[in-house]
Amino acid sequence: MLYDTHCHLNHPQFESDLDQVLARMRDAGVGRCLVAGYDSPSSLIAAELSSMHEDVYAAVGVHPHDADSFNEDIERSLLSLLEHPKVVAVGEIGLDFHYNYSLPKKQILALEAQLRIAQVTNKPVIFHCREAYEPLLEILECAAPIHGVMHCWVGDIDQARRALDMGLYLGFGGMVTFKNASEICDIAAMIPVDSLLLETDAPYLAPTPNRGKRNEPAYIRLVAEKVAAIKEMDMEEVMMRTWENGLTLFHRE
Ligand SMILES: [Zn+2]
Ligand SMILES: [Zn+2]
């Protein structure tokens, strides 16, 4: 079984053919997927999709790109969505100082407010981070203990060690299959498999040979294959261990 621990089936790109996408996901042996919210409407859709499909779970949260929109109404609606039994995490939240679509100050405020939501609801967190590992790790080190995953890891090895020291998982997706991703692959090789989650981030970051096309959960097989090669492990073993990791983090009851 495979677990796509981070995808956006709530994205408009899946509106017209979601049933086929889910059918291909099941055919590929993907037993579960976790749909991450990125703003208020997409969080609601994630929760709705999880009610409609047995193998779909949801995370709710406001992405740093949308941090400018974060307010108390949204905070209340996230809290109420988190009462839903299949909404298993807060996310994706974090810092993105690469695009800076929202002011860094606003991003930090939205991150801290949503960390408090995770703490009061006792839910794990899905973190997004671009060019902001130092400030994000500092904030998390002060807020520890936190259960969660740094999705789509692109940090360096020292930052990876700091994340692992806090007990965080690192998520790897299609980027490990890209030609210029040797640093990411080195880190995937070095970290213990017990700290590793697989993800697609669909519709983004489709793995080779589908790079540039719309990504979808079925393609997580290509990620698992590459991670198995990097770690010199059996594909079956990688699938089983990362599946267990997903259950441990997101389905702890
Ligand atoms: Zn992200
Ligand atoms: Zn994402």
Nearest ligand, CA 46: 2
Q: How far apart are CA 240 and CA 237, in angstroms?
A: 5
Nearest ligand, CA 37: 2
Radius of gyration of the chain (CA): 17
**Is the pLDDT at 212 greater than 90, yes or no?**
yes
| Segment 71-122, tens digit of pLDDT | 999 999 999 999 999 999 999 999 999 999 999 999 999 999 999 999 999 9
* Bridging pattern class, strands 169-172 and 148-150: parallel
Can you give the pLDDT at residue 253?
61
Q: What is the mean pLDDT of residues 195-216?
A: 97
Is residue 215 within 8 Å of 200, Cβ to Cβ? yes
Widest CA span in the chain: 48
Q: Sorting pLDDT into bands at 50, 70 and 90, what band is 143?
A: very high
Q: Sorting pLDDT into bands at 50, 70 and 90, what band is 144?
A: confident
Nearest ligand, CA 202: 2
Q: How many CA atoms lie within 13 A of 114 on its CB side?
A: 37
Q: What is the Å distance from ligand 2's center to 117 Cα?
A: 19
Nearest ligand, CA 130: 1
Q: What is the Å distance from ligand 2's center to 36 Cα?
A: 6
Q: What is the Å distance from ligand 2's center to 126 Cα?
A: 9
Q: What is the mean pLDDT of residues 168-195?
A: 97
| C-alpha 16 chain-centroid distance | 23
Can you give the pLDDT at residue 207?
97
Q: What is the Å distance from ligand 1's center to 51 Cα?
A: 23
β-bridge partners, 104: none
Residue numbers of the domain that contains 66: 2-250
Q: What is the Å distance from ligand 1's center to 142 Cα?
A: 22
Q: What is the Å distance from ligand 2's center to 7 Cα?
A: 6
Q: How far apart are CA 178 and CA 173, in angstroms?
A: 10
Q: What is the mean pLDDT of residues 224-243?
A: 98
Q: Pick the closest to residue 89 from 148, 29, 138, 12 (CA basis).
A: 148
Count the domains in the chain.
1
Can you give the pLDDT at residue 20?
98
| Segment 130-142, tens digit of pLDDT | 999 999 999 999 9
- CATH code, domain carrying 222: 3.20.20.140
| Segment 14-56, tens digit of pLDDT | 999 999 999 999 999 999 999 999 999 999 999 999 999 999 9
